[in-house]
Amino acid sequence: MGFAVEAKALVKQFGNIRALNGLIFQIKQGEIFGLIGPNGAGKTTTLRIISTLIVPTSGNVEVFNLDSVKQAAQVRKIISYLPEEAGAYPNLSGNEYLEFMAKFNTKSKNELHETIKEAAKISGLEERLRDKTKTYSKGMKRRLLVARALMTRPKLAVLDEPASGLDVLHAYHVREIIKTYVKHHGVTVLLSSHNMLEVEYLCDRIALIDKGKIVVEGKADDLKKKYQSENLEEVFAKVVGYA
């Protein structure tokens, strides 16, 4: 079995700023892989390259053996991407928004109906899907957007800060959505997060990124044991020299 994602010596330069500096990592098929690190470490840049939104300065990424630059159109057919700043159209109801987005990836009315039905189940919003999204709380909107990202059962779902800024209950629901969906449908997930506890709960493996490079990678329990730490925050502080 090949890798779902394989990043090879990724470099991304924005003017005088080197956002990525020889980034290397692999994601196995069917796992939840967490990319964590401080602001400006290169997380979002990495996710955007994998999602074919920007191209690397050098190096390359393969997504299920497809080159993210040379075969970008094919990559887009098998992935979904949820940016941290994503929003829903305020004057559409939840159902209308899901239908609008599903039409980009479905080929028949029956497939469209099943995709929307799937998204409704994932979101857990029930009768609120009839209401316009401008009446939703931040947590409800995020649940709708996560459902949109997963409803087509992509081979790879790329989620940037999926539960950022949510209250405890909505954050819990979003995490359960992701964990349950991967377990039942075999979707591979790449997510970034500042929340170390969230990453520890969700992810099969994690990579800590700092200054555009992976500084350590592995299972959360293994890293805590290796660095004699009680949590991932402590691991990260030790690895990058803050502790």
Cβ–Cβ under 8 Å, residues 105 and 115: yes
Helix, strand, coil distribution of the chain in percent, nearest 5: 40, 25, 35
Task: Report pLDDT digits (tens) over 1-18.
Answer: 679 999 999 999 999 999
pLDDT attached to residue 243: 53
**Class level of CATH domain 3-239:** alpha beta
Q: pLDDT (tens digit, 0 to 9) for every residue of the chain, 243 residues total?
A: 679 999 999 999 999 999 999 999 999 999 999 998 888 889 999 999 999 999 999 999 999 999 999 999 999 999 999 998 888 899 999 999 999 999 988 889 999 999 999 999 999 898 999 999 999 999 899 999 999 999 999 999 999 988 887 888 888 888 988 988 888 888 999 999 888 888 888 999 999 999 999 999 999 999 999 999 998 889 988 888 765
pTM value is 0.91
Q: Which of 201, 188, 226 is nearest to 36 (CA)?
A: 201
